[in-house]
Structures are given as structure tokens and as C-alpha cells.
Amino acid sequence: MVSAVPVARPAPWEKVPDYDQLFVLITGANSGIGLGIAQRLIDEFLATRSLTSHLILLPTTRSAHKSLETIRVLRAYATAAAQKPAPVLRSRAGGAAAYRWQDTVARIHVLSLPLDLCDLKGLYAFADALCGSTVSNPEGLPDEYLTNVRVPRLDSVVYNAAYGGWEGVNWGGAIKSFFTKGLLETATYPDFKTALPTCILNERSSYGYPEKPLLGEVFTACTFGHYCLTHKLRPLLTRPRSSVLPPGRIIWSSSVEAHRNTFDVDDIQCLTHPAAYESAKRLTDILCLTSTLPHVRPYARSLLHDATACTTPSRPGPKSTDVKDTTKSEDTALVGPRMYLSHPGIVASTLFPLPAFLFWLYQFALVLCRWAGSPWHTSTGYRGAYAPVWLTMQEQSILDELAAERIKWGSAYDRAGDSFVKPTEVEDWGWQGEVEDPEEDDTTGSLNKKCGRRYGARTVTREQLLGMEELGAKCWREMERMRTQWEEILEL
């Protein structure tokens, strides 16, 4: 919640230097993959960061009640992880006799704020509070210590929140797919889900939107809300050029089902045809993978590229720092954030509606697929969280060396029970925006490009890569147009 009187209280992480702090915001983190991301971050943080470092998790949910429950769950998880630490953590602390689990728990902080991505007014107020005011956990926690605290920056934002909009399964299509394509293809790339027509947010009086222009629920929950949020959070994601800290990271969560045929740039919200979820995820792929390309840069500049800062806000508000998109200034130069793309593989999630007995069968099918050699059937939210957590925790030099912003990083899981990240093929892009023949890949095991590849996939051509760049420019231009249009309509 936002403080009525923004008088900041000292936060426990302020006792350590900036490089010993890690701030991570996760949207949609009260269950499933989002909760798994937060839990996996706790584990990876304790295993790899210094014994003086502090982890500040900012999981968002759609209500104060869900935020309270998420805080309780994550704090209990952190306590359990600290009380039963890995041997390496004990040894780093000087042995079992010197280790105190209470000291470990005191370095993990959970600050959960309600956020409805479909409520643009609420979204902008949320971002303004983070950027220029103080924030607190919702009321209802005994002896709560995170009240009226400031968040000085964000090291990573993980955009996990989504809404599917499905109503069930076309069983005839499922049976046909099973007998013509086999179990692996059917359970990895299902083309038989039935979707409801996307809801129109303008029809919900609680949001206060005008009758026109239309705003689709799935599009906004999956992509547009996050896009607008990124613009507003940019002051927390940029860094002075002289800073020792790496740029902020924007980590989007996509899907293995983000296929070309689900998306039409002339119907970017997918208002006139089904598969709004898959369309939104395809749009996410396009926005992320093309963001650094020459024809896209003019439209992505205001969000991602280097800028300058001035200390005087350009309009009334709580912000003390305003980001300007100009290099012709004597103000401090800023380094813009980096954008990365991930997907969780195939997770048994309640995002897709299935009766209880069918959900159990679905979980069993995912295990069978993994034993049959599929790398994508991660099954659980914790395993599906591997890729975004890996992108959060990696050194910037490693990501730069891999050109990680040009790759769709998938959470993968093999027969031996090992989790890892695997580059994922994207239609019209390939694996990293280059013409590559998977037959020439001599990598062994699950990391081979042919492992987990979609049935009928074809090698990307130079013409398709050029077309992808043009499509990226169109998508970025339209997203910017929509953002500025809604800011004017709602006077944000």
C-alpha cells in the first residue's frame, strides 16, 4: 500500500552498500510460476551471493489479501531454507557452530504490493509510488517492519503475470493430434484449446474507461500493462554511466506456443479472432527479440536506450528524477535497461481450466513426455522458474558475451532431473536472429537444437529475418501509439 504521509523509515538493506543489494519485482507472484520464481530466487541468492547481501523481493498480486498470503508463504519458505541450509552455506559461514539461520532470514525481505495490470490508472499510481514515494506491506501482518520504506532501484523486473482466456479443450482435435503427431507434439504444442472471445475492459465500469478505443483484457494483462509499467519504472531501471551496478533487466515471460499464425499486427489486441493469449505471447517475442535492431531502435529508444537525467521533474508529481531521451544535455548520462526473453516450458498450471481428474492425467502426461526425451516439460512452477531466475542472477558480462537479448531462453528439464536453460527456436527468427541449420549442430543431449524442436519447423531464411525486423518496427510503433493515446485519455 502507498503511505498517506511519505516519510521514509530506514530499511534494513540500507545498512549495506548498493552492490550487496538485489531488488527484484515479479508480477503475478501469488501462485504457480510467479511464486516459483520468488522461491527459486531465494535458493539461488543464498547459494551464490555474499553473506552480507540482502535480497528484496517485490512480488505483486491482484489484491491486498493475496499479497498478505504471498508474504507469509515466502517468509516461511525463506525460514525453512535458512534452517536447513545447503552444506556450502554452512561452510561459508564458518561451519555449523558459527552458522545462525536467523542471520540468513534477516537478509531476505518480502515487500508485496497489489497491482492490477488491466487498471492503467492504478498501474501508474503503483509506479509513481515506487519511483518517488514510500511503500508498505498491506496491513494485517503482526510486527511488520516494512512500512514507509523507499525502493531506490530495481535490478530486475520479471513479467510473469498473464491471463489465458480459455474455456476448455476441443477433444476431437486433441485425439486427432495425438494419433497424427504423437504424444510429445500434442503435449508440447497443443492446437486444440478453445478460447473465449477476449473480454473488453471498456465494459467494466470499475476501470472507468471510455467506450472507445477498445482495450482487450488478455492483451492488456499479458503485454500492454507490462509495457506501460516498464515506461513508468524506467527511473528505477536506469543507471548513471559511472555506476558499478549493471543496467536494470526487464525479463519477459513468453510461451512455447507463441506461433506466427496466432498473431496479426493489424489486430494487435486479437479482438477479432481466437488465441488472444498466444497472440499476446507472440507479440512479446517480437518486441523483445527485435528491440536492439536498427529499424526498431527509433521506436524503442524512449524505453530502452541511453538517455540523460535531470533533477527537476517535467510535471508535478512525486518523482525526483525524470528521464529524458536526449543526449544533448549537460545532465548526468544514464544507461538504459536491457530486455530479455524467457519461457517456463510446459507447466501443469491452473491457468488452463481442467477438471481435477483430467488435471492429474495431464500431470502424468508431462512426466511421460520428459521420460520420452522432451526438454520442455518442466511440470512445476519451481522448475519453470529456472530461466527467468538464471537471467536475473547471471553476471552482466556473461549475458553480454552470449548476446542474451537476442535469444528466447527456455526453462528445461531432462530425464536425469537436472534443470537448465535452453535457447528456443522462434518462427521467423531462429535461435538467435541468424540463419542456422540445426543439422549442423554437434551439441549432444538436450542442448542440441533438434531436441524439442516443433514438428514441421523450418530453418529461418534471410528474408524472414528482414521481415521480422520490419514487423518489430510496426509493433513497437503501435505499442508506443497506444501508450501515449491512453495516457492522454486518462490524463496520466
- List the alpha helices (DSSP H) in 133-239: 171-181, 183-188, 217-219, 225-237
281 catalytic? Reply is: yes
pLDDT of residue 253: 98
State the catalytic residue, choosing from 277, 299, 340, 382.
Answer: 277
pLDDT of residue 46: 94
Q: Decide which of 332 and 337 is more confident.
A: 337
pLDDT > 60? residue 294: yes
pLDDT of residue 177: 83
CA dist list (Å): 449 to 135, 190, 191, 285, 341: 45, 21, 22, 19, 18
pLDDT of residue 319: 42
291 catalytic? Reply is: no
Q: Average pLDDT of the chain? A: 89
Confidence of residue 15 (pLDDT cuts 50, 70, 90): very high
Confidence of residue 397 (pLDDT cuts 50, 70, 90): very high
Dist. CA 491–CA 425, nearest whole Å? 41
What does pTM read for this prediction? 0.91
Per-residue pLDDT, averaged over 198-202, amounts to 91
pLDDT of residue 307: 62
Domains of the chain: 12-152 (3.40.50), 166-490 (no CATH)
State the catalytic residue, choosing from 156, 177, 254, 419.
Answer: 254
pLDDT of residue 181: 84
Confidence of residue 94 (pLDDT cuts 50, 70, 90): low
pLDDT of residue 315: 37
pLDDT > 70? residue 328: no
Highest-confidence segment of 10-14, 82-86, 274-278, 281-285: 281-285
User: Edge to edge, what strands does the sheet with 333-335 contain?
Assistant: 239-240, 333-335, 307-310, 322-324
Q: Sort strands 322-324 and 307-310 into parallel, antiparallel or unpaired.
A: antiparallel
pLDDT of residue 350: 67
Dist. CA 190–CA 419, nearest whole Å? 23
Catalogue the long-range contacts made by 273-277 (C-beta closer than 8 Å, 24 or more residues apart): 274/194, 274/195, 274/197, 275/195, 276/165, 276/195, 276/198, 276/216, 276/218, 276/219, 277/162, 277/163, 277/164, 277/165, 277/166, 277/195, 277/218, 277/222
387 contacts 40 by C-beta, under 8 angstroms = no
32 contacts 381 by C-beta, under 8 angstroms = yes
Which residues share a beta bridge with 159?
252
Per-residue pLDDT, averaged over 95-116, amounts to 90
State the catalytic residue, choosing from 66, 193, 232, 281.
Answer: 281
